[in-house]
């Protein structure tokens, strides 16, 4: 009897290996759904990123927006993993669009900007020649007829490289920053920033010449000269030649590498009357709507 009672008590005593009900772990909380705004923002950013493959100008903005959308995702939420994958692919698309933007827009734009700056520099040099020739007329450095209206000078004469009509050189030179001239097919020219620049003066018997040894029609040279700037090489991205006369009429024309090569290099410079001859004048057009100046300055004899 005592043994039976002991056995009954053992059955009623809870086992130490059994955990109380209150000590069981609580159920994990439900994963919250992602806010609707997160879905909408992510989908819009992804759409913009994929569109940047075609509209490359928005690619940089799309890349930044994708990064912001990705790092601002909540830490937890249902369907979070697919959304991260979507934004990851969107980021890759925006990056690819950025590369396309660099290739199609940015780099060509920088090259074009450099080309424009170089061509503007050529026009600036032509204008320096204009001002120097105005001074030649005003100061009458070359005045064979003694009327105190000076004749125009060749490029080497204005830069001090050679003497005025074979005499003493100008001191100081009127074009101090011009390099020494080299020989081209149609006369002497100086190379500056990818362009050859030459001055052609009226010569006796008609026409113009860039050879200082040719006899100059001094009477016409008091009121006439022409200057050209043309690409030294076609491969530099420069494809236009420039013309200027005593009235500051500035014209441009396309150069050509195809035969017959025209207005490019030392062997195919513009003809002396390229912008004036009826055969080729049609190739030239006004530069940026630039109007020539009216009256030619310093054509009246200066006071002694």
User: Any alpha helices (H) in the chain, and if so which ranges?
Assistant: 2-12, 36-51, 59-71, 80-101, 107-139, 155-158, 218-221
pLDDT greater than 60 at residue 3? no
- State how far the alpha carbon of 26 is from the alpha carbons of 23, 58, 77, 133, 140, in Å: 9, 50, 20, 98, 107
Looking at per-residue pLDDT, the higher value among 68 and 235 belongs to: 68
pLDDT tens digits along 183-206: 999 999 999 988 999 999 999 999
Average pLDDT, whole number, for the chain? 83
What is the average per-residue pLDDT within 284-296? 92
The structure's pTM equals 0.66
Of 42-46, 139-143, 194-198, 247-251, least confident by mean pLDDT is 42-46
Going by the DSSP 8-state scheme, the letter that residue 282 receives in this structure is G
Res 6: pLDDT? 45
Sign of CA dihedral 188, 249, 204, 161: negative
State percent of the chain over pLDDT 70: 80
Going by the DSSP 8-state scheme, the letter that residue 153 receives in this structure is -
Listed residue (140, 144, 46, 58) closest to 97, CA to CA:
58
Cβ 242 vs Cβ 232: under 8 Å: no
Sign of CA dihedral 17, 20, 23, 29: positive
Structure-block tokens of residue 18: 């059994």
- Give the number of other CB atoms < 10 A from CB of residue 68: 11
pLDDT greater than 50 at residue 8? no
pLDDT tens digits along 85-124: 888 888 898 888 788 777 766 555 544 444 566 688 899 9
Q: Which residues contact 42 (CB under 8 A, 6 or more apart)?
A: 69, 73, 83, 86, 87
pLDDT greater than 80 at residue 175? yes
pLDDT greater than 60 at residue 5? no
Going by the DSSP 8-state scheme, the letter that residue 103 receives in this structure is I
Res 23: pLDDT? 54
Res 2: pLDDT? 52
Res 304: pLDDT? 59
Looking at per-residue pLDDT, the higher value among 33 and 8 belongs to: 33
Domain ranges of the chain: 115-286
């Amino acid at each position: 009897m005592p043994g039976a009672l002991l056995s009954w008590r053992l059955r009623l005593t809870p086992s130490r290996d059994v955990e109380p009900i209150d000590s069981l772990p609580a159920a994990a909380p439900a994963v919250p759904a992602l806010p609707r705004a997160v879905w909408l923002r992510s989908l819009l950013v992804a759409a913009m990123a994929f569109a940047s493959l075609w509209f490359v100008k928005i690619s940089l903005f799309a890349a930044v927006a994708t990064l912001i959308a990705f790092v601002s995702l909540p830490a937890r939420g249902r369907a979070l993993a697919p959304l991260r994958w979507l934004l990851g692919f969107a980021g890759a698309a925006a990056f690819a669009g950025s590369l396309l933007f660099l290739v199609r827009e940015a780099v060509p734009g920088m090259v074009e900007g450099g080309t424009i700056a170089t061509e503007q520099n050529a026009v600036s040099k032509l204008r320096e020649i204009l001002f120097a020739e105005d001074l030649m007329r005003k100061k009458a450095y070359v005045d064979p007829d003694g009327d105190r209206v000076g004749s125009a000078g060749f490029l080497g004469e204005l830069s001090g490289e050679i003497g005025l009509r074979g005499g003493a050189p100008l001191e100081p030179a009127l074009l101090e920053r011009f390099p020494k001239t080299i020989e081209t097919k149609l006369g002497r020219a100086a190379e500056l920033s990818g362009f050859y620049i030459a001055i052609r003066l009226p010569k006796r018997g008609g026409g113009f010449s860039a050879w200082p040894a040719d006899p100059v029609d001094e009477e016409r040279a008091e009121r006439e000269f022409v200057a050209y700037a043309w690409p030294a090489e076609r491969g530099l991205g420069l494809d236009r030649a420039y013309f200027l006369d005593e009235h500051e009429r500035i014209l441009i024309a396309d150069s050509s590498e195809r035969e017959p090569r025209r207005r490019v290099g030392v062997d195919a410079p513009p003809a002396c009357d390229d912008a004036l001859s009826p055969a080729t004048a049609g190739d030239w057009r006004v530069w940026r709507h630039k109007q020539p100046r009216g009256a030619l300055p310093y054509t009246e004899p200066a006071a002694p």
